[in-house]
Amino acid sequence: MKILFLTRALNVGGAERQLVALALGLLKRGHEVAVAVFYPDGVLEGELKEAGIPILSLAKRGRWDVVGFLLRLIHMVRSYRPDVLHSYISNLVTVVVQPFLTSTKIVWGVRSSYMDFSRYDWLFRVSYGLACRLSHSADLIIANSHAGRRDHVADGYPEKKMVVIPNGIDTDRFRPNQEARVRIRAEWGVTEDEELVGLVGRLDPMKDHETFLEAAFALSQSRQSVRFVCVGDGHPDYRAMLQDRARSMGLGDRILWAGTRTDVVDVYSALDTLVSCSSGEGFSNVIAEAMACGIPCVVTDVGDSRLVIGSLGELIPPKDSSALARGIQRLLDHRMASAEVRKRIVDRFSLEALILKTERELLDLFLRPGKNSL
């Protein structure tokens, strides 16, 4: 097959790492693969370029660069003529190019479940509503979680066109690394006698860093050895608000703001416990990646997080800082065997399974006669 992936940018993030791994895997299995990006020069582009996968830039100039962007997209897709156009997150734009494609099959990606719309602006809410109405135009919709499929079907997505393919973790890459643990902790000024609790993810309201800060404050009052780190970045105003709040709580140097890291595989090994306190998720890469590195997790019961951790971690309600603090404390007091935590991911969520299941669904679609229309 000739497959064109479509995404906003190849910056550091769970969805972006999944796209890179999937594109490389499909290339190795003999398919022709390219990736079109709204915004070029993402840090993950290099890995694809080294493998010979073209990065096609749409040179979007900002949120309101709409007409020129769509014209460039139409021209690009008509020139490349893929058998499959697989949008990764940015699904709505495929509706615009679909009338110009005579035989290309359209695949949408769904990588979220519950969304708290009160935390986002009007344009996001309008876009989601349109996506629900126009989702029937897709030939196939791949959700990365059962929760995501269920929630989107309830919102109007076509049930018969939706399949679930869980994320896959490269467990050869994500594995315990003692050398990385020592190096990263030294870089951050964290001694081996201290306990390090981390939240890895973009600074975004859905990740609920505010609840993390409240739990960190509660723990810091009773546990002098514990420190915290937030790995990831976001809008400058939101970052400043979170950092101001941490200072007002008196957390001071008990919390580190590490920003975006390209060595996230090493970052996991530096932690004693990982927290995912999101108010909404599909399949959390961060949880599975951390577990593959042998790190136990405290996670909110959203999306498929319960399915990922099984009995090897702490499951708590969203937006409950007291429950989060108790969960972290239990994991720090009763350390789990690293090998057991890792084994769950190796056995259940392999990268090979992601690649083979996606290939099977795309081939079935590619070989299916006819084409859907709006």
- Domains of the chain by start residue, with CATH: 2-168+351-367 (3.40.50.2000), 178-348 (3.40.50.2000)
Q: pLDDT of 220-248, one tens digit each?
A: 999 999 999 999 999 999 999 999 999 99
CA atoms within 13 A on the CB side of 92: 13
Q: pLDDT of 40-51, one tens digit each?
A: 999 999 999 999
Percent share of the chain, pLDDT over 70? 97
213's tokens: 């800060």
Does 179 have pLDDT greater than 70?
yes
Are the CB atoms for 47 and 24 separated by under 8 Å? yes
User: Can you give the pLDDT at residue 372?
Assistant: 47
DSSP strands (E only) in the chain = 2-7, 32-37, 55-57, 84-87, 105-110, 140-143, 162-164, 195-200, 226-231, 255-259, 273-276, 297-300, 313-316
User: Can you give the pLDDT at residue 117?
Assistant: 65
User: Can you give the pLDDT at residue 102?
Assistant: 81
Rg (CA), the chain: 21
User: Can you give the pLDDT at residue 17?
Assistant: 87
Q: pLDDT of 305-333, one tens digit each?
A: 999 999 999 999 999 999 999 999 999 99
Average pLDDT value over all residues in the chain: 93
Alpha-carbon distance of 243 to 216, in angstroms, equals 13
Does 374 have pLDDT greater than 80?
no
Predicted TM-score (pTM) above 0.85: no
User: Can you give the pLDDT at residue 114?
Assistant: 64
Does 373 have pLDDT greater than 70?
no
Burial of 188 (0-12, 13-18, 19+ CB in 10 A): middle
